[in-house]
Structure 1
């Protein structure tokens, strides 16, 4: 991996300590496979107590090169790395919460990108590392925020997440995105259901998930009141179904009309 070649030229000021630390990190990533002290340096940097104190730009580099770190580390050390990152991003007492919402989203986006590269280059369902990578994805999905109208709050983060889920194993990602009836859900659970359906709709639109699978939760989608976040759920599902063949689109229309006749607060009240 040509890490050194990817060092960004952010500044002509070589005395900039921020840039200098980044260049040291890139150098370490490039040569740690044959220089033990550099490997130890990366090991120390990615240990949670140290990682949480790093500047955000250094954290960003480490997240981007997650796949390279996995190639350098043993399986047990890689597992610890993922466990530490899960704690960092999901703990209610994490220093990560000191960042602004935009900064937190950027770090999560880079984590998604790093995981995606791991799934492409390092991890497969047959490897031991698959279980802890999967666990991190399951922790990250609920952090994909929605605005009050159901629109994804941070577009770049959502885009990175969808790209990662596209390359993830279909079998377990489908289980992770299971949605049950929204009838008796709390507001938080309602948003979580909306998030999962939007993800499934985008995977369907990308050709990763069949529109038939989306049809399995058709009743839940169409029998929920179309207000708040749910309006955008309908928009996302409509975009996904639009790319399906005519037979599936016709069945969706017929089912929408049917559900609209028997449901107290159908989403289909806006049909037409």
Structure 2
């Protein structure tokens, strides 16, 4: 108690220094003899009027159940509950607890100001930026309404601008994005189901950060970047906690043929699907919806995605794997992509798997051996005849394509193979022909004769 109060020189009010634990519900009333005095708090604007704790708004409160509130209220020493007219203990906390603010001198900026002021945030050291991002889920509780929406929007804009930042290298940028994914993950953990607007703001931010994820590696020779692996891991963990309806719509692939979404973006979404299937976050059927798009895509850039899909297929039922193999054998406009997938899947499931190398050229050259081994397995033999028949049909198409290329004749439009594949004709044909020869015992006699009539160097 201050001197003026003790000396009785000021009788209008008493000035006391009181320590308040902000981790506990604030005291709304005190009882002085038989008089109940309401307590107002100046400078504490972010009070939850549901649980009475400072630091978050009512719509972000994690203790919304009445039983939890009553337990918290009873644990506050000396707290008095004020019954309403009906005798129910309601409205224990309310806006009246916040005292009107008075003009004060400008205060020094805090960490939350650093985050909400993106230009100032850019000037911070990388370690401090990462630290603030990793704790943003806690700091964000101090924001509400339009200020919170603005913060997430500015955060998205900041990461978008990092793509042209020359001051940071790729690993440093990846580290910052990983910290952001962790933050969004924690925000989703603490968001409650009825704060839909808040969750949608998080999802918009996730869409932007997702577009900045590293693209799948285009070949086996690309060096594995540990920071990229960490970033993808954090992204998948965060995406798994998103609303499934939004997630499936965001990762939907079949309608992405317009110029609004790049091919690299589509591949990232398919890769994310494969990873999410492995974690059990989405069903395998969702990845199956991207099958046709993937197997009919140009080979450049698809290698890493093919590896992810094959890795996912190791964890599904045998019937699903067999169906993927049969569907892939129908040669598309990009036969290299389909045959690479067949090589990866057959190689990973056959008995020679420990001896194989996951390289594009090796996968294709090993195809006659891996397919023969795979289809001799009792679990796969059920599709041996149909698969070999489809393979022969595809081989005949490749044979016709290669012959017409050598004679400078054009294929009919309905049978066209993309011009970018022309250089692969003399590689694919011998491999497919030899695979058919190794599997010819699964073919009827008339088809064996058709195979024998092919002259392949």
TM-score (norm 1): 0.76
Larger helix share, 1 or 2: 1
2:233 alignment partner, one of 139, 149, 159:
159
Answer whether contact 2:296 2:334 (CA < 8 A) is retained: yes
Cα distance between partner residues in 2 of 1:110 and 1:102: 12
Deviation at 1:183, TM superposition (A): 7.7
Structure 2 match to 1:23: none
Q: Structure 1 runs of 4+ off > 3 angstroms?
A: 36-40, 123-126, 150-153, 180-186
Deviations 1:152-197 (A, max 9, x none): 75111111101111111111111111223788879x8221111111
1:234–1:41 distance in 2 versus 1, CA, 3 Å: same
Answer whether contact 1:63 1:114 (CA < 8 A) is retained: yes
Structure 1 match to 2:310: 238
Structure 2 match to 1:79: 149
1:70 alignment partner, one of 140, 143, 156:
140
Deviation at 1:43, TM superposition (A): 3.3
Structure 2 match to 1:135: 204
Cα distance between partner residues in 1 of 2:110 and 2:205: 24
Equivalent residues in 2 for 1:1-272 (5 A)?
Answer: 33=55, 41-46=110-115, 47-91=117-161, 97-122=166-191, 124=193, 126-146=195-215, 147-149=217-219, 153=225, 154-180=228-254, 189-225=262-298, 227-257=299-329, 259-260=330-331, 263-266=332-335, 267-270=337-340, 271=342, 272=371
Answer whether contact 2:254 2:289 (CA < 8 A) is retained: no
Radius of gyration: which is bigger? 2
1:113–1:183 distance in 2 versus 1, CA, 3 Å: closer
Number of residue pairs aligned between Structure 1 and Structure 2: 234
1:201–1:119 distance in 2 versus 1, CA, 3 Å: same
Q: Which runs of 5+ in 1 are unaligned?
A: 1-31
Bigger mean CA offset, 146-155 vs 68-77: 146-155
Deviations 1:8-55 (A, max 9, x none): xxxxxxxxxxxxxxxxxxxxxxxx949x99996233211112211111
Deviation at 1:70, TM superposition (A): 2.0
Answer whether contact 1:105 1:157 (CA < 8 A) is retained: yes
Secondary structure of 2:197 counterpart:
coil
Answer whether contact 1:182 1:220 (CA < 8 A) is retained: no
Cα distance between partner residues in 2 of 1:102 and 1:71: 30
Deviations 1:222-250 (A, max 9, x none): 1224x332122111111112211222222
1:114–1:124 distance in 2 versus 1, CA, 3 Å: farther
Compare relative contact order (CA 8 Å, sep 6+) and give the higher one, 1 or 2.
1
Secondary structure of 1:128 counterpart:
helix
Answer whether contact 1:204 1:214 (CA < 8 A) is retained: yes
Cα distance between partner residues in 1 of 2:195 and 2:270: 28
Cα distance between partner residues in 1 of 2:149 and 2:108: 16
Cα distance between partner residues in 2 of 1:38 and 1:118: 28
Q: Which runs of 5+ in 2 are unaligned?
A: 1-53, 57-100, 343-370, 372-457
Secondary structure of 1:98 counterpart:
coil
1:244–1:142 distance in 2 versus 1, CA, 3 Å: same
